[in-house]
Structure 1
Amino acid sequence: MTETKPSRKMFLEVVQELRTLIRNENILAGDKLPSERVLAERLGTGRSTIREALRSLELLGLIESRQGEGTFLSDFRKHQLVEVLAAFIMQEPKSLEDVRATMQIHEKEAVRSASADEETRNLPLWTGLIAAAESEAPYLREDIVREVLIASGNRLSLKIWHLLYQYAGKPYTGEAGSDERTEIACMLRKIRSGETEEAVAAYDRWTAIVHAQRGNTDGNHPRDVQKK
């Protein structure tokens, strides 16, 4: 029997469930994860969805696939970039602002890259994400940003963003509100249609809402607050 292509919502749910499984079962760095077949059975979904979720986690550097051995949990904290970021943040009190600004540089570039590439624009991903944004189902901000970064195809940018995200206090934690969903859906539509500047403008409006809720009313350039 041919397995149908999983919906985007199901994929995002599986990523979350995989994280929960790793945490609950105390799987440590270097430990082997259950096989795709076992994970599919335990999480009640198709193997293609599991495979896609694992690929996402591997792109983030959270897991490592070894030919003929299986999939293992990585210790991304040992990455040299983490040490560089940690030292930078501890030495410079206002560096948190710079970390968040740098995150948004990567995010905007991902929006531009995704909307500029015809093959990326034609991915079914966007239709699923737009439908989810317009539904009443839970919609996590972090998932949207990560999906755009993954779609852009820049693995290094994705890894850097993920590390910055941890140090920035995870500014996209939580579910998007109705006003955010409107801008998210607009951004995704503009990416899909190749309207780059309009997509970036929608991204700016959305992140302005997010950062205003966190007490950062400028939304895009934290450093500008001090200049006013």
Structure 2
Amino acid sequence: MTETKPSRKMFLEVVQELRSLIGNENIRAGDKLPSERVLAERLGTGRSTIREALRSLELLGLIESRQGEGTFLSDFRKHQLVEVLAAFIMQEPKSLEDVSATMRIHEKEAVRVSSGHDDIRKLPLWDSLIDAVESGGPYLREDIVREVLIASGNRLSLKIWHLLYQYAGKPYSGEAEADERTEIAGMLRLIRSGETEKAVAAYDRWTEIVHAQRGNTDGDHPRDVQEK
């Protein structure tokens, strides 16, 4: 049977399940968590959903995977972001718009930082990305955004963005299409040349295209949401 696409609801349920396991089974930092199979059975969902949620929690530092051994709990008390964000999303009816807007704030800041620092602009990364985008071969939108975030050097911003991205329904899923590639390549060139505001404007134009292709399912225009 084909598993359904992981949903935000199931992601939150995984977070809640992990909290319950920690409290009810007295799991401490360094202890091993139940397997993906066990978690999937307890939640009544597919293992791919569990795997996606665990991957995000690992990025945040809540858990760690050891090859051949399993998944282990990190010091949960040092990482409260998941609890705060999960509670916010479950309680606020307008939360998805706010999550999407916050995600884009991180993206734009990464564009600004990357284009504003000489050392970052000199990275060979930009030439490689431009070549990949203009080659016409398959290239994922998500990879472009992630590479810019990584280049900006703010690991906390990257971690927050990754979590927000899951809740927002992965708006950059899929391959960049022909009409997007011109804007993407232009944005990357502007970052490389240090033209910050023009790079941000190119980012806006690209995300407008992506937003339109998704059929405006996220509600307001991305830029409008951010500037409210």
Q: What is the TM-score normalised by the length of structure 2? A: 0.65
Size of the alignment, in residue pairs? Answer: 169
Matched with 1:221 is 224
Give the superposition deviation at 1:80.
2.1
Secondary structure of the residue aligned to 1:221 is helix
Matched with 1:156 is 156
AA at the equivalent of 1:172: Y
For residues 26-57 of structure 1, the C-alpha deviation after alignment (integer angstroms, 9 at most, x for no partner) is: xxx879xxxxxxxxxxxxxxxxxxxxxxxxx9
Written as runs of structure 1 = structure 2, the 5 A alignment for 1:85-124 is 85-124=85-124
Give the superposition deviation at 1:61.
4.2
**Cα separation, 1, equivalents of 2:73 and 2:94:** 28
Q: What is the TM-score normalised by the length of structure 1? A: 0.65
Give the aligned CA root-mean-square deviation in angstroms.
Answer: 3.1
**Cα separation, 2, equivalents of 1:75 and 1:200:** 39
Are the structure 2 counterparts of residues 71 and 153 from structure 1 closer, same or farther at C-alpha, using a change threshold of 3 Å? farther
Which of 1 and 2 has greater Rg? 2
| Structure 2: segments with no counterpart, 5+ residues | 1-31, 35-55
**Cα separation, 1, equivalents of 2:178 and 2:83:** 38
AA at the equivalent of 2:126: W
Give the superposition deviation at 1:84.
1.1
Secondary structure of the residue aligned to 2:175 is coil
**Cα separation, 2, equivalents of 1:84 and 1:91:** 11
Are the structure 2 counterparts of residues 211 and 183 from structure 1 closer, same or farther at C-alpha, using a change threshold of 3 Å? same
Preserved CA contact (<8 Å) 1:64 1:74: yes
Preserved CA contact (<8 Å) 2:101 2:222: no
AA at the equivalent of 1:178: A
2:209 counterpart of 1:206: no
Preserved CA contact (<8 Å) 1:209 1:219: no
Preserved CA contact (<8 Å) 1:61 1:74: no
- What percentage of residue pairs aligned between the two structures are identical? 73
